Amino acid sequence: MSLWKVILITLLVLLAGCNNIGPSHTATSTELTQNTENAEDRATPSTQNRDSTSTPKQGPDSAQNPFRKSVVTVAINNTANSSNDFVYSASRAITYWNNHIGKYGDYTVEFELEANATEPDLVLHYGRVIDCPNPEFSGCSPIPPQGYQFEEVPVLEIQHDREANWRWDRNNVIHEMGHLLGLNHSDPPLWIMSTAGRGNDRPIRNVGNKEFAWRDPDLTVHINTTALNDSESKIGRQQSLEVINQSHPDGPSLTPVNSSYRADIEIRFTKNTPSGVSVWGRNVDSDRGCEYLIRGIVFVSGENISSQKTVIRRGISYALDPPESSPIAKCE
């Protein structure tokens, strides 16, 4: 039996664009003035991108800093009623900006996460229903114009999605915080700020046409055996761990985690679906292909559980680096 009959490749790719953030992380922004962001979105990177080294960064007392302070306390309002560890994702996004704000932001502050803060400077709302100008938006954030000062605590809206993992939500927060720092969809860092499918005019190599399909060389893997009985679960976990612990020359490190949400790749044993692989990616430029991946699920049939190690190995290999001819090119 051929590999493609053993592993049915099922690509779950959500539409990208301002109306569906999904794996493309392209949200719109709530406006603080009459000026709309749409005109900036239509500008090409060659005319709109700023040189991050040419403009001196603004201190806490400058008119460019809408918080007028150097340390910004961030609270979380989680109304999603979900087991997703959004605090973890938010903390990773805040770490990203604390490390890169000096390079990309219009002003410099230090974000400090205090999830249950009673007097925060900024609130991240994570919910199944969010307050954005369009109900189809998956996130929104104010872009403060120069000289603006927040009179009320700003709220960044982040939509809960049942398919999301930590990397998905983290990237969503990074994108919206970028808007808060004055960035639009044609400003760097383009890997997260650009509008999927309508982004950078210069083509970027797609997944399958580059050395590595992920932006991070350190990936996490969760083994989901909830569909199996105890004895099957033990066998499935053992086979999966043997694959995870194998050497991957010139490849990523794979670390097992106990949470599906915190996993980049999930090995999911099933009883009612065939073996296969689903991957989610991000489109940064103007073509229809994904430039990097953000999540993968390796489905493993629970039938003949003791002989599924080869399926697991091939599924992991595919999730790490889909071939150039893969239908991942349908990513939008």
Reported as type and span, the H/E element at residue 190 is: helix 190-193
| Location of each CATH 3.40.390 domain in the chain | 3-15+204-330, 22-32+51-193
% of the chain residues with pLDDT over 90: 52
Q: In this predicted model, which residue has the larger pLDDT, 14 or 178?
A: 178
Sorting pLDDT into bands at 50, 70 and 90, what band is 251? confident
Strand order of the β-sheet with 122-127 is 110-113, 71-78, 122-127, 155-159, 139-140
Sorting pLDDT into bands at 50, 70 and 90, what band is 178? very high
C-alpha torsion 40→44→47→51, nearest 10 = 80
Strand, helix or coil at 66? coil
Place of tokens 């349908």: 330
Gap between the Cα atoms of 332 and 328, Å rounded:
9
> Six-digit token pair at 292?
């990097």
How many of the other CB atoms lie within 10 Å of CB of 46?
10
The region, left, alpha or beta by phi > 0 then psi within -120 to 50, assigned to residue 48 is alpha
Give the ranges where the chain is alpha helix by DSSP (H): 3-6, 38-42, 45-48, 86-104, 166-180, 190-193, 230-244, 309-320
% of the chain residues with pLDDT over 70: 71
**Beta-strand pair 292-301/265-270:** parallel
First-to-final CA distance of the chain = 32
Q: Which residues pair with 278 in a beta bridge?
A: 297
- The tens digit of pLDDT for each residue in 43-92 reads 333 333 444 444 445 666 667 899 999 999 999 999 999 999 999 999 99
Q: Which CATH number fits domain 22-32+51-193: 3.40.390, 3.30.30, 1.10.443, 3.30.2310?
A: 3.40.390
Least confident of 109-118, 167-176, 289-298: 289-298
Answer whether residue 97 shows pLDDT above 50: yes
Gap between the Cα atoms of 175 and 183, Å rounded:
9
Strand order of the β-sheet with 276-282 is 8-9, 276-282, 292-301, 265-270, 218-224, 253-257
CATH class of 3-15+204-330: alpha beta
Phi, psi (deg, nearest 5) at residue 285: -105, -155
Gap between the Cα atoms of 163 and 294, Å rounded:
11
The whole-number pLDDT of residue 215 equals 86
Helix/strand/coil (H/E/C) assignment for every residue in 98-120: HHHHHHHCCECCEEEECCCCCCC
How many of the other CB atoms lie within 10 Å of CB of 292?
20
Q: What pTM did the predictor assign?
A: 0.80
